[in-house]
A and B are shown apart, each in its own frame.
Chain A
Amino acid sequence: MKKEFNIIVTGVGGQGVLTLAGIIARTALDQGYDVKASELHGLAMRFGSLEAHLRIGKKLSSPLISFGKANLVIAHEPLEVLRAVKYANKKTVFVFDTRKQVPIISYIEKTPYPSLSNIKKRLQKFSKNIISLDASDETEKATGSTIMANTYMLGRLAAEEILPFKKQAFVKTLRKIVPKYAIDDNLRVFELGYKSKK
């Protein structure tokens, strides 16, 4: 791995943004890396935009990622991936779930929600490395709920080999931190995400 690897995880409060960041962070610690992360709680979590910073490396200082310095942006929602472009550069990989959650304000104030193709077009101005996946849709099909969509995304990330960890390292973390009653479903969804890479 390079000296450091910077990840922005975004989404809507309640989508499991902090959980996903936490799983990656613990996997990194197990692999002997230094980890620095920053997250927001409280008011920001009530269906508002949420942005977590996660840095993995040797010896890190700031818990925040500088503008233009993200290696990877993981978004649980397509509009939120656009909000994170300030952290992107030409090499950044964008990974986002295609399931929209249109903010109510966009109906009220008539600020239109961009189409998926428009979102991709706008992302391409920053980086060509774009992976869109139907994490929520596929998770809902498999489990009847979208709650584990973040685990699906993690599975896909493992398959893409963007992060400097092997698939088994993530599985190990999942086994460690997911409560017993939910572990089987999580591993199943993780596998679905893993196999979604064609």
Chain B
Amino acid sequence: MTRILLVDDDSCAVQSLQALLEMDGYEVRATMSSVEALELLGRERFDVVVTDLEMPRVHGVEVVRAAIAASPATRVYVVSAYQGSAVCKQAVAAGAERAFTKPLDYDKLVACLPAA
């Protein structure tokens, strides 16, 4: 089963996205703390990471770098309120496959994911 890590400090968004992905058959681990995300990436393996960018303490770009460093095969997607911003470009440069803009088009995200 495809394992997905969701990282977003917005509890409503992260829970709803988790619910949708679980309905589609994915195994989802969600966290609202980017610090916890780094810990999870250090000890667990994920096929996909979907992370917000603007978060306190550890920025989403750092999460992208940590995910790629932990497993280069991991697909990383970032979600940001700032379309085409410098941080989105930084995230893609750090290894993210694609940057999505909030509000997220869920169908577009699922189209990028491997089968559950």
Do chains A and B interact in one complex? no
